[in-house]
């Protein structure tokens, strides 16, 4: 696995730069604020272990997390700043790398990353954004708790309180008006009860398989 931070400039290959994109935001009373970044890094590193043409960039640990405002520790740079950051980063990266992959760990980043990628593709830059499709509950519930138990169980707290357990479709109008504070007092959307490392390993394996297949298809498509 090749990490960009470990290289000197003459030794940098020019194939694929993979950038983990996460966030620093609350994940309930039991998961660390780095959860989304940790997941993005783990999946990016997993891809690089399987593909020698992938170089892993340092993670972007701040994203668009305004919906988590009001919970201590959340640090959001907002959609406008995130889009500009991604556009300028990829413009710079494509001076060296033929392809740039953005591995996104925070769902709130997704529309902004899509907009940035559309803009970059209009400039004929080969960039792809990918996010895991976990299914399950939406935030800091059983799904993310299981994944963190697989990645770093020492950083998962013992308190596994349920939060808002209504479906995301039902919660969405209030979420849009008032953020997570409007629908959950503890920051959880879902129920962490029943989470396990075994389930987390299965979820990570499925996500990594999807990421690897997506990248394989992307890189094997002949340019128009």
CATH code for the domain in which residue 37 is found: 3.40.50.10310
pLDDT in tens, 88-147: 999 999 999 999 999 999 999 999 999 999 999 999 999 999 999 998 888 999 999 999
CA distance 1 to 9: 17
Q: What is the pLDDT of residue 222?
A: 53
- The packing angle between helices 142-151 and 35-50, to 10°, is 60
Report which secondary-structure segment, H or E, holds 18: strand 16-21
The verdict on residue 109 lying in a domain is yes
3-state secondary structure of 120: helix
The verdict on residue 60 lying in a domain is yes
Q: What is the pLDDT of residue 11?
A: 97
The verdict on residue 85 lying in a domain is yes
The verdict on residue 224 lying in a domain is no
3-state helix, strand, coil in the chain (%, to 5): 50, 15, 40
The verdict on residue 13 lying in a domain is yes
Residue with tokens 């075994």: 198
Residue with tokens 């919970």: 71
pLDDT in tens, 160-193: 899 999 888 899 899 889 999 999 999 999 999 9
Nearest to 101 by CA among 86, 79, 115: 86
- How many domains in the chain? 1
Summary mean pLDDT of the chain: 96
Distances (CA, A) of 159 to 93, 113, 127, 172, 194: 42, 33, 40, 26, 12
Query: What is the span of the domain harbouring residue 155?
Result: 2-219
The verdict on residue 163 lying in a domain is yes
pLDDT in tens, 7-40: 999 999 999 999 999 999 999 999 999 999 999 9
Strand partners, 130: 103
The answer for residues whose C-beta is within 8 angstroms of residue 129's C-beta and 6 or more apart is 101, 102, 104, 110, 113, 114, 116, 117
Residue with tokens 């996104």: 104
142, 194 contact by CB (below 8 A): yes
């Amino acid at each position: 696995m090749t990490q960009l931070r470990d290289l000197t400039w003459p030794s940098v290959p020019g194939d694929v730069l993979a950038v983990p994109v996460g966030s620093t935001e609350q994940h309930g009373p039991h998961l660390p604020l780095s959860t989304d970044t940790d997941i993005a890094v783990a999946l990016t590193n997993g891809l690089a272990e399987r593909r020698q043409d992938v170089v892993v960039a340092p993670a972007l640990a701040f994203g668009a997390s305004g919906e988590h405002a009001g919970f201590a520790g959340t640090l959001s740079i907002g959609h406008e700043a995130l889009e500009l950051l991604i556009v300028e980063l990829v413009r710079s990266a494509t001076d060296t790398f033929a392809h740039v992959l953005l591995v996104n760990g925070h769902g709130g980043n997704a529309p902004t990353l899509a907009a940035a990628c559309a803009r970059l593709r209009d400039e004929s830059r080969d960039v792809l954004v990918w996010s895991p499709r976990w299914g399950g509950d939406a935030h800091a519930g059983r799904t993310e708790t299981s994944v963190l138990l697989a990645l770093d169980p020492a950083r998962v707290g013992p308190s596994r309180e349920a939060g808002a357990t209504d479906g995301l479709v039902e919660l969405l109008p209030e979420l849009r008006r008032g953020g997570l504070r409007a629908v959950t007092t503890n920051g959880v959307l879902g129920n962490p009860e029943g989470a396990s490392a075994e389930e987390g390993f299965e979820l990570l394996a499925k996500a990594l398989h999807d990421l690897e297949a997506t990248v394989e298809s992307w890189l094997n498509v002949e340019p128009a």
